[in-house]
Structure 1
Amino acid sequence: MCFKKNVSFYLFFLCCVVFTFSQTNGNNQTDLIANRINELSKRKAEDLIYIQTNKDIYMSQEDLWFKGYVLDAQFHVPSLRSNLFYLQLLNDKTEEVVWEEKYEIEHGFVDGHVYLDEKLESGNYTLVAYTSYSFFKNTEEFCAQKKIKIFSVNKEELVKDESKEVNSSKIKFSVFPEGGHLVAGFENKLAFKATDLMGYPENVTGYVYENDSIINTFNTSHLGMGTFKCFLKTENKYQIKVNDTWYEFPEVLKEGKLLHLISQTPKYANFKIARTTEQIGEKVFVRLHVRGVTYKILIKTLESKESLIKIPLTDVPNGVAEVTLFNSSLKPIAERLIYIGLDKNLKIETNLSKERYKTREKVVLKLSIKDANDQPVVTHLGLSVYDKFYRNKVESKNILTHYYLSSQLKGNIYNPEYYFDKNNKTRKRDLDLLLLTNGWRSYQWSESNLEKLQPKTNAIIEDPLIGKFKVLYKEKEPKPYFVVVSSGNQTNNTNFIQVNEDKSFKVSSRFLKIGQRGYVYLKPFGEGDTKDYRILVSEVDSDTITKYKKQKQLVYSFKSAPKSLFKEVTPFQYYDGTQNLEEVYIKKRKTPIFRDKLLGQLDSLQKLEPNIETCVCHNGIVNCKNHCPSFGFVSNNVFDGHKKQLTQEELLELYNLTAIKSFYGKRQFFNMTYDEVTVNDPFPDKRNTLLWAPNLVTDQNGEVIVEFYCSDTNSEFLGVIEAVGADGGLGHEAFRIRVNKHN
């Protein structure tokens, strides 16, 4: 039922992806400007991954539940490019990979769990995800991450605040001209950003000097950012002084054009174009594109030094848009970022059956999803309800901030949730400051950045996996070869892959799925003895991933946290009536080497086969009674009269098999239910995650109803909803549930 629903959801997605291109003139010049960015953006055809977890803080020996959203980078619809989702869990302190597995992507979504081993130390960890279309050798940044914190149940110590003391007297201060450059003879707008050496915003007061005189004073408006204006002259010298430190002023051009945003409404963006020359009838072009797709091109004939131009914003998707000014020769001369549709995200309404609940009481939650026009939307949802004490207060990331800001702008963004909170009255002004600073000349979809990219030939992860069929002798003529694929855990599950003429073959996700939670085994098949053939497969290489990831800037949103953050969480909780043992030693039999049926059967077979090797003593006597004892060494594979147990590697080599780790198996999240009898069960219910539902899909009315039961924990629980709509729209919502033993 769930699978069919997901397929229907995806088909609905395909029907709703409509690309609208609008332009005011259909001549060759506008076509050329449009095609430039559209063609270049094809080089950046990739997936963007967002990771949602059931909570932020964990104990070792717990299961971490996650959902991966694998969306198209341009249209934010589920991507069908990738089937293999490679997940790692890294210790931030040691950079050690403590977990890595493959998971199957189904219609752009993937969910599963990670077991947090008891040996994990308390500290900060990062979940990192990769697909063949999201992780490349030549990309500069990487943002498919999720920060978590883990407490070890073996230790009573709390996670320490690892932030370092920073010299507050030293700051990083940068100035960014609007449009990209300054031009003499006009009042120019400049944005600035001030942070400490760790990247946290600093409030500053600064002074602009013209020669030796102060002509302007500026102050921080929001999180270390602000703007100021200056009328500039080419013959004068300009400097900036902040905290008794002098900073260089950007270069001032004698001639040029300025692109200045005057105002913006939901329907229009109003710009002023200023120029130093007064060429009558000069023609310029203005292009607006969002994530590499051109939506508007306008032609403007300039009749004076300053001209106004109004860009329609209807039929343009929400998100960061780049407005580029071209001269009559189609050369880009200025660019400006704006944000479109800050309030056009999916509207998520939560309706609870009541405000407060008793422990073990049933909760009925109805979700209603609508678009910006209040129309119901078929939506794919991820929902978690967990104890608020397991919320990391440092975290400032959700599906909106990830896809609309972090993945679009350069560098780390401080507290991006702020810009999507309607309670912040100046958020639109402050978001414009962010675009003037973080996005300045480094916008991900700018032509200069796209020109550096090459078509997708440099993926680090191959999907499907590529194999090579090697023949150990010289062939007289080409022959048909096959690869036999067998599951290690299931019987009568054998498949064949035909080898191509160049001796290559592909191991698709279908084969990785049959060996779920184990291995699939590949064996060469052709004429004659199979020992004449070998199989090589380019598996996912953890070392290669680490090598290339270290070369990239890791992008992650952040905000400061109180020192007492972790004092709210008890590392380990004993229940009433628990008896603690001093120390227990448990002895067990030797752990078997082989984890699945196939290798176990092959191991048994090789022990039953007669051993043709014999012992020859130093006198040349076969099975010499004096020097070849009846009990002891008899052959390379025999000890004490019995064959030794081969290692997995030795057994694979013996039978000419190649093992590939399959998809990590799925497990259902346990949802506790109570009835009139079990509600009085004396065993304590200490669940801190009440619900994890990663694959909810609304109906045609945009609605879905979920039910779950409270635990015995008296606390406030936080509900988090992440949503992807059928039109590519995104949504995020949070709600709270209060649980008390006695209402």
Structure 2
Amino acid sequence: MKRVIALVIGLALSIFTTAVAQQNDADNPPIAERLKHYITHKGPEKTYIHSDKDTYVTGETIWYKIYMLDGVSHSISDKSKVVYLELLNERDSLIAKQKLFVDGLGAHGNLDIPQTISEGGYTLRAYTAYMLNEPEPLAFSKTITIWNLKNERDQTPKQAVRVDTTNINIRFFPEGGNLVSGLQNTMGVKITDKTGKGLAFSGRIVDQAGAVSQQFETYEFGLGKFTYEPESGKRYFAILDGKTPKKYPLPSPMSKGYVLHVRNTKEHITIRVESNLTSGLQNTLLIGHIRGRIFLNHMESSNDNNFSVKINTTTLEDGVAHFTLFTATGEPVCERLSFIDNPNNDNLLDIRSVLPSYKKRERVDLTLDMASVGKIENFASFSVAVVNQTRLRSSQKESIKSWLLLNSDLGGTVPDAHFFFAKRNTKRKYLLDALMLTHGWRRFVWKELSDSTKSQTQRFEPEKGIVIKGRTTAFKNQYQLRPAFVSFNILGKNLFREKKATDNKGNFTFGPYIFQDTIKGMIQSEPMTVSEREAENQFKIFVEDGSPAIEVSDIAHKNQEAIVPDQPKKYVEQAAKKRQLDMELNAGTITLEGVTVEARKRTKRAEVEKRLKGLTRYQLPNQRIYTDSIFGKGALQPADLLLNIPGARAARDGLSIRGGGPPMYLLDGFQVERGDLAQINPNEIAVIDILKDGNAAGFGSGLFGNAGNGVIAIYTKSALGISSDQNRYFPNIANFIVQGFYKTREFYSPDYEVQTASHQKEDYRSTLFWEPNAIVDKKGFTNLKFYTGDVSGLYSIMVEGITAEGIPVREIKSFEVTDDSEK
């Protein structure tokens, strides 16, 4: 008997009241309650990076916006307020790292690409410390390509890559997880080569006697599906057309069991459950949720062998729906994913007022409009990039919609998730459902969720700001933990002091604080009770490095191409012209004299060089001085030691290089004041690096100096792991450097209606406009403006963002900049 249940969604509270009867005891709470507990206490966070483009040259700036969201609602997260951005090379070595404060739906910044790095594929990655609690942390990452202007390239045409079909892999995925004899089953199929690349094939399904029961095909990504009804006692095989006949066995069907079917149209989704068990389906439970939020909770009351549920998709949010069938005893027996595409969430944004074409240096006005489509309820936050597409070919394989709604919940295993969102047609809808058949839910498994006794301590609490942590011990025995009164002091221009007691094991925590740039901090300790024995009044203070490190491979994008197939020659030539003009007109550019130091201990120097690579944000300095080559350095103060730099002169306001202004100082990678260097024993200084031009420009301007005047980077023996006779620990005091949140520069966009001397040079910008915080409030629109440059061609306006309700939005619009000489 066929039964159809019309499901009405709306009363959310009623969703959490139904459960399997056998699960109502205190030790085994209802499934819906477990999901609610998961959302509240273990719900994930998600990040997404929108960069102005995907291709750069050395010396350029990456402009980016990190969306940091609640992983369930995709709205503002109430957990972390700190997010990290990393740039990694092809060997997963860290090139640069920034820490940003999250305000609202995300944070934005800029990253200057060093001119000395090699060209190739690089990875931008964003994550929070809280995300590292997951067994396999899933940080969003995207592949970008960086070209080096100095490299000479082989212009020989590349040979086409041939697909190897001699060694293929075929995998079969029964819908719901089970094949049952005598019941109609849908089978997902995926065919790949030995590298994992999907292959398109046609073939047929035969039984052991060779009788054909079904034909099938695979398409993009090697995905396909077919339906058949296996007979009891028969075995089935797949045979591919056009190849030497080889039989690939299908999974053997069960004689008795359950089958779960899902049929998804744009307006409705129908779930059908069947069983050939004599007990029927009585007291089975069908759960449906999207990212942990339940929308279907049906317990079957009859003992029929089938029932169906039909849901209007306009009542659901977008994303991967996860359906699970539980037996009367609470055992999960069938599972199926289906992508929900709510038609009400299409076309939320209109980019208006943009003309088809513009002249060079002409003003462009655009409006981000949500009011005309009637979709704005609260507010929406967007990032907007306007980029030359004639000279830059986008290799985007992920968008904010494909990541948040699809790939992040599939473990980042889809190599080109944007494919399923770029165009909406019947074929792509078919392939998306085949993708759902061949993937499983990755956020949690029911077995772990149902274990109410399993309690995992979180290694990382959500960060709310900058926290200073450490511990106090006996000064002469660091293993003897001792409580004390401790005070945290910020030195320099803005004095600050906070005092508290440690716990009984000597642990202390200060913060969270919110500040930018870098500060010099000091922890002081004093005994809770003064002792007559001086040794008992002395403490050793250990300050922890509070920066988390992600220890996970690039799961989401490891299958992507690292470098675009062909170098964008015109773009690189255009970037070279812009670089030359900037250097000619940059009055802040300085020249530092070179110095050559003979290495006396080559094996030791090689080890130091290796360790320096892990600390520096640049590849090689313009000059490098090993302090063991400076005679009598132990008798010098650090300020005097710096006068050994070629071209350095003492000035009234500190050190000057070749008559320029104050340079920027870095101590073990952190920006400090020159006066802070007085706290260092000269014998502790191992290496001094001197940076100029492009190397220095990557550090910008800071609170304590301008990189345009050069950068002096000092590295201590302790930071490099070199043994030293100097004891860095002093009783009751610890000095350290605290890196603040990254301070973002403002994107420069010229206003050609105002005449200035800088407008006389040619404008070769490839990114015409970048706005990371375009807010559309309840009025429903916001207006933006920018000017075209001197490069003709096709330009795209890329808008990505999120509404306050958690709906991701992505829109693109193009226009052309014309050249009068071409008309």
Alpha carbons 1:486, 1:522 under 8 Å: kept:
yes
Task: Give the match for residue 136 of structure 2.
Answer: 140
Q: Which residue of 2 aligns with 1:500?
A: 502
Residue 664 of structure 2 is aligned to residue 589 of structure 1: no
Amino acid at match of 2:145: K
SS in 1 for 2:406: helix
Residue 36 of structure 1, aligned match among 34, 37, 50 = 34
Q: Which of 115, 118, 121 does residue 118 from structure 1 map onto?
A: 115
1:723 aligns to what?
A: 801
CA drift of 1:492 comes to 3.0
The one-letter code sitting in structure 2 at the alignment partner of 1:111 is H
Contact 2:264/2:338 (8 A) holds in 1? no
Match in the other structure for 1:255: 256
Q: How does 1:104-115 map to 2 (within 5 A)?
A: 104-115=101-112
Aligned to 1:482: 486
Q: Distance in 2 between matches of 1:445 and 1:455?
A: 14
Query: Residue 475 of structure 2 contacts residue 540 of structure 2 at CA under 8 Å; is this kept in 1?
Result: no
1:291 has 2:297 as partner:
no
Is the Cα–Cα contact under 8 Å of residues 81 and 462 in structure 2 kept in the other structure? no
Counterpart of 2:86 in structure 1 is 88
* Residues 543-558 of structure 1: pairs in structure 2 closer than 5 A: 545=550, 548-550=551-553, 553-555=555-557, 558=560
Query: Out of 538, 559, 578, which is 2:544 matched to?
Result: 538
> Of 148, 154, 157, which residue of structure 1 is paired with 2:150?
154
Shift in CA distance, 355/507, structure 1 to aligned 2, threshold 3 Å = farther
- The one-character-per-residue Cα deviations of 1:309-338 (angstroms, maximum 9, x if unpaired) are 324545432111111122222322212112
Q: What residue in structure 1 maps to residue 633 of structure 2?
A: none
Q: How far 1:370 sits from its partner (Å)?
A: 5.8
Q: Secondary structure at the match of 2:195?
A: coil
Partner of residue 45, structure 1: 43
Whole-angstrom distance in 1 between the partners of 2:229 and 2:582: 78
Question: Could you say which residue in structure 2 is the equivalent of 1:468?
Answer: 470
Q: Which residue of 2 aligns with 1:625?
A: none
Distance in 2 between residues matched to 1:585 and 1:685, nearest whole Å: 26
Instruction: Tell me if structure 1 keeps the 8 A contact 2:16–2:32.
Output: no
Deviation at 1:82, TM superposition (A): 1.5
Partner-residue secondary structure (3-state), 1:74: coil
Report if the CA contact (8 A) 2:387-2:767 is conserved.
Answer: yes
Q: Distance in 2 between matches of 1:565 and 1:579?
A: 23
Call closer, same or farther: CA 1:680–1:394 in 2, change over 3 Å: closer
Asked if residue 365 in structure 1 is aligned to residue 357 in structure 2, the reply is: no
Which of residues 54, 57, 60 in structure 1 aligns to 2:55?
57
Q: 1:407 to 1:163 in 2, by over 3 A?
A: farther
Q: CA deviation at 1:718?
A: 1.5
**Post-superposition offset of 1:222:** 4.6
Q: TM-score, normalised by structure 1?
A: 0.81
Work out whether 1:714 is the aligned partner of 2:711: no
Contact kept in structure 1, 2:360 and 2:819, CA below 8 Å: yes
Question: Is 1:220 aligned to 2:224, yes or no?
Answer: no
Q: Aligned in 2, Cα 1:346/1:652: closer, same or farther, shift over 3 Å? A: farther
Distance in 1 separating the partners of 2:774 and 2:285: 45
Question: 2:774 maps to which residue?
Answer: 696
Q: Which residue of 2 aligns with 1:69?
A: 67
- Alignment gaps of 5+ in structure 2: 1-9, 25-29, 585-589, 594-645, 649-656, 658-662, 683-713, 719-725
Question: Is 1:145–1:556's contact at 8 Å kept on the other side of the alignment?
Answer: no
Give 1:422 shift: 4.7
For residues 36 and 680 of structure 1, the distance between their equivalents in structure 2, rounded to whole angstroms, comes to: 62
The structure-2 alpha-carbon separation of the partners of 1:75 and 1:423, relative to structure 1 and needing over 3 Å to count, comes to closer
TM-score w.r.t. the length of structure 2 is 0.73
The one-letter code sitting in structure 2 at the alignment partner of 1:33 is I
Equivalents in 1 of 2:368, 2:311: separation in Å? Answer: 36
Using the TM superposition, name which of 356-365 and 160-169 deviates more: 160-169
CA distance in 1, matches of 2:258, 2:191: 28
Across the aligned residues of Structure 1 and Structure 2, the Cα RMSD in angstroms comes to 3.9
Q: CA deviation at 1:678?
A: 4.0
Aligned residues: 674
Distance 1:428 1:302, change over 3 A: farther
Deviation at 1:540, TM superposition (A): 4.7
Judging changes above 3 Å, is the alpha-carbon distance between structure 1 residues 329 and 265 closer, same or farther for their aligned structure 2 residues?
farther
CA distance in 2, matches of 1:458, 1:602: 34
State the AA in 2 paired with 1:714: S
Once the two structures are TM-superposed, the CA of residue 176 in structure 1 deviates from its matched residue by: 0.4
Q: Is the 8 A contact 2:51 2:65 kept in 1?
A: yes
Instruction: Tell me the residue number matched to 1:613.
Output: none
Contact 2:142/2:557, CA 8 A, preserved across alignment: no
Instruction: Answer whether contact 1:518 1:664 (CA < 8 A) is retained.
Output: no
Q: Tell me what 1:328 maps to.
A: 328
The alignment partner of 1:206 has SS state of strand
* Aligned residue identity for 1:270: T
Amino acid paired to 1:246: K
Match of 1:668 among 743, 746, 754: 746
Structure 1 runs not aligned, ≥5 long? 1-17, 609-644
**Counterpart secondary structure, 1:508:** strand
How far did 1:161 drift?
Answer: 8.0
TM-superposed CA distance for 1:129, in Å, is 1.9
1:447 aligns with 2:446: yes
Following TM superposition, by how much is the alpha carbon of 1:407 offset from its aligned partner in structure 2, in angstroms?
0.4
What SS does the aligned partner of 1:400 have?
helix
Percent identity reads 21
Residues 1:573 and 2:576 aligned together: yes
Greater displacement, 175-184 / 671-680: 671-680
Partners of 1:576 and 1:280 in 2: CA distance? 74
| Counterpart AA for 1:726 | A
Moved more, 360-369 or 520-529: 520-529
Matches within 5 A, 1:557-706: 558=560, 563-564=565-566, 566-567=568-569, 569-570=571-572, 572-574=575-577, 586-587=592-593, 589-590=647-648, 594-595=665-666, 600-604=674-678, 656-675=734-753, 677-678=755-756, 681-706=759-784
Assess, with a 3 A threshold, how the Cα gap between structure 1 residues 525 and 152 changes in structure 2: closer, same or farther.
same
Q: Please list the CA deviations of residues 562-620 of structure 1 after superposition, one character each: whole Å capped at 9, or x if unmatched.
A: 84463453255337997999xx9851535779449975335458899xxxxxxxxxxxx
Contact 1:365 1:705 in 2 (8 A): yes
SS across alignment from 2:37: helix
How far did residue 710 of structure 1 move?
A: 1.2
- How far did residue 704 of structure 1 move? 0.7
* Distance change (3 Å), C-alpha of 1:727 and 1:565: same
Deviations 1:371-390 (A, max 9, x none): 98644551011111111156
